[in-house]
Amino acid sequence: MEPKLDEKDLAILALLQKNCKMTARKIAQKIDSPITTVFAKIKRMEQKKIIKEYKAILDSKKLNFGTTAFILASFSYRNGETPLSQRVLAEQIAKFPEVQEVHIISGDWDILLKVKEKDVDAIGNFVVDKLRTVKGIEKTLTCMVFGTQKETTEITLPLNKQLLKKIQ
């Protein structure tokens, strides 16, 4: 059963998505709520795993990981007589440190990956030396990113216009 979220919960989530270091006091001021209410709401949303974790978003280019690729992979569902699991394969691929995202998808391909590395050669080495050595991978298609207009982890939340104005 999905937890019931009120307008204040959604406003708190919107503010934390923009700045997870925002203090409960500042959040309370922005949404006109007592600080104890804000603390309780945040704690409840953490316990319910609505807030999964807090992270810093790093500038990959400044850290020499400025090359991004999306990689489509298909795999054989059988290895001889042994059936292979798409989920197990995705979990195995997710363990590679270069991989930022792994998605099980529909269509002509089975898995979509997002990879960040220092350059095209490093992406190529990842595909040839790591990804293609995973048991079951049949073929890959690598799409290099030339430029990024938007990259976010934010979810657009259904806030009423009045509350939205308050928190901006």
- pLDDT per position in the chain (168 positions), as tens? 566 899 999 999 999 999 999 999 999 999 999 999 999 999 999 999 999 999 988 899 999 999 999 999 998 876 666 778 889 999 999 999 999 999 999 999 999 999 999 999 999 999 999 999 998 899 999 999 999 999 988 888 887 777 777 777
Contact 159, 10 (CB under 8 A): yes
Give the per-residue pLDDT at 166.
73
User: Residue 42: phi, psi to the nearest 5?
Assistant: -65, -45
Domains and CATH numbers, the chain: 7-55 (1.10.10.10), 67-144 (3.30.70.920)
Report pLDDT for 1: 57
Using an 8 Å Cβ cutoff, are 110 and 102 in contact?
A: no
pTM above 0.85?
no
